[in-house]
Amino acid sequence: MLKPSIFREYDIRGIADEDLLDDDVVLLGKSLATHLIRHSGRNICLGRDCRLSSPRIHAALSKGLLSAGANILDIGVVPTPVLYYAAVHFKSDGAVMITGSHHPPEYNGLKTVCGPATLHGHEIQQILKLIQDKDFEEGPGTVKELDAVTPYVDEIAAQFNFERKVKVVFDSGNGTAGPVLHRLIKKLNIEAAELFRDMDGGFPNHPPDPAVPENLKHLQDAVKKDKADLGLAFDGDADRIGALNEHGHAVFGDMLLLIFGREILSRKPGSTLIGDVKCSQIVYDKLREWGGNPVMYKTGHSLIKTKMKQVNAELAGEMSGHLFFADRYYGYDDALYTACRLLEILSKSGQPLSAQLADLPRRFSTPELRLACPDDQKFAVVAKTAALVAKDYSIVDIDGVRVPFEEGCWGLVRASNTQPVLVMRFEATSQALLTKYRAYLEGIVEKAMAPATS
């Protein structure tokens, strides 16, 4: 029987050989097809990543989709953004990606597109309900195999014409980015070295998550050895990017958002740009100073994409490395396209990556800090934290608790939607203030986590 816990906020995900057995996946295929047919239509693009469990899940999912009458457009093993691209290019009614994204090799899951939006929240719960009610469409269904990579590579390459060569090292981490990136590189005027291009679902060189600094060690060494202008890494399904400057220091998603935002505002003043609650305050202050309309929003790729359409944003970015361009592109998170946009900015400026951020005020910040907290308690702990902090400060409660302490200093506590953890982050104008505010907020969280005493 399917565990309700695999139906998550942004996707369906679990341990492949425990939570996603063949019979379960057939049911998921039937329910996803039923939902898509009733809300959008029966032409469904289907892609999969290079995980060891993906061929098995692909076979079972296809069986379920077909039995509900879906017309499958099968685009094979691809990065998630190529699946998003295929849904636009082939004008399909929906799309399903079999991927464990940046999670360890034993995981797998499904990301689903219905019409123009990505399924999330209550819609994912509706998929579970269809299975519980055995409420499925029936029909013969068809399968057609299509090449989405060729039009994808051609269309992206056609956008970029680099006059000055940038020197870059890529780390595809044995994920699905490698082969597609290799074809893209050949069409671009850049000097590129490629690490771990071959796909291997065992991820033998490092885990496929560029948001974790240890996973960027190979790239860091290569950037320094090659004297490259920057290094770029991709997660397992290439919807997240990780960046290193020429010194090998990590440049997180919020700073990339700032670099891209400045370029867009130089052409389109007044644009709306979205960042998630984990982003530096500098992002919001500078984007406003440069004539933009910055909006702070919740973390989560499905939520951000929906918000972008609502407020007509040109660009959005998450601290975790999801960047979404509506400017010149289709608005979904595509780390390969993001890489091209960054190379374009460096090529035009003739300066390495660190120079793009050189004029910003100095800030002291922590990375994302994770504190274990059970799934059934994490939201209550955050609510209690909010109530306690509100006695001392006015809070921002878009997603968790963000506390603006004083000019340039803030702290965040939010419940992760993907793991049994609380995520915290701090930024301040000095190391002393960083330590002070971190100790304050951590003290409050500790109080909120303590069992109630009567």
**Identity of the residue, 11 or 24, whose beta carbon is nearer to Zn ion in the bound complex:** 11
79-108 residues near Zn ion, rule: CB under 5 A: 101-102
The DSSP symbol for 448 reads H
The interface mask with Zn ion, positions 194-233, x = CB under 5 A, is: ----------------------------------------
Known catalytic residue at 101: yes
The binder of Zn ion chosen from 11, 74, 93, 235 (CB under 5 A) = 235
The binder of Zn ion chosen from 239, 263, 276, 314 (CB under 5 A) = 239
The binder of Zn ion chosen from 11, 137, 209, 237 (CB under 5 A) = 237
Tokens linked to 381: 């702990």
Q: How far is the CB of 420 from Zn ion (least distance, A)?
A: 20
**Cβ contacts of residue 181 below 8 Å, gap of 6+?**
170, 172, 194, 197, 234, 238, 336, 339
**Identity of the residue, 172 or 385, whose beta carbon is nearer to Zn ion in the bound complex:** 172
Say which of 62, 101, 172, 320 is annotated catalytic. Answer: 101
Q: How far is the CB of 239 from Zn ion (least distance, A)?
A: 4
**Identity of the residue, 107 or 437, whose beta carbon is nearer to Zn ion in the bound complex:** 107
Give burial (CB, 10 Å; 0-12/13-18/19+) of 316.
buried
* 3-state SS, residue 147: coil
361 with 282: CB under 8 angstroms? yes
Question: What's the chain's length in residues?
Answer: 454
Asked if 276 touches Zn ion (CB under 5 A), the answer is no
For residue 41, give the nearest of 109, 111, 90 by alpha carbon. Answer: 90
Asked if 302 touches Zn ion (CB under 5 A), the answer is no
**Cβ contacts of residue 267 below 8 Å, gap of 6+?**
none
Q: How many residues bind Zn ion (CB under 5 A)?
A: 6
**Cβ contacts of residue 150 below 8 Å, gap of 6+?**
none
Residue with the shortest CB distance to Zn ion: 101
**Cβ contacts of residue 191 below 8 Å, gap of 6+?**
165, 166, 167, 168
Asked if 263 touches Zn ion (CB under 5 A), the answer is no
**Identity of the residue, 196 or 284, whose beta carbon is nearer to Zn ion in the bound complex:** 196
Asked if 334 touches Zn ion (CB under 5 A), the answer is no
Known catalytic residue at 322: yes
Q: Which amino acid is at 292?
A: G
Known catalytic residue at 13: yes
| Binding-site ranges for Zn ion (CB under 5 A) | 101-102, 235, 237, 239-240
Q: Which residues are catalytic?
A: 13, 101, 322
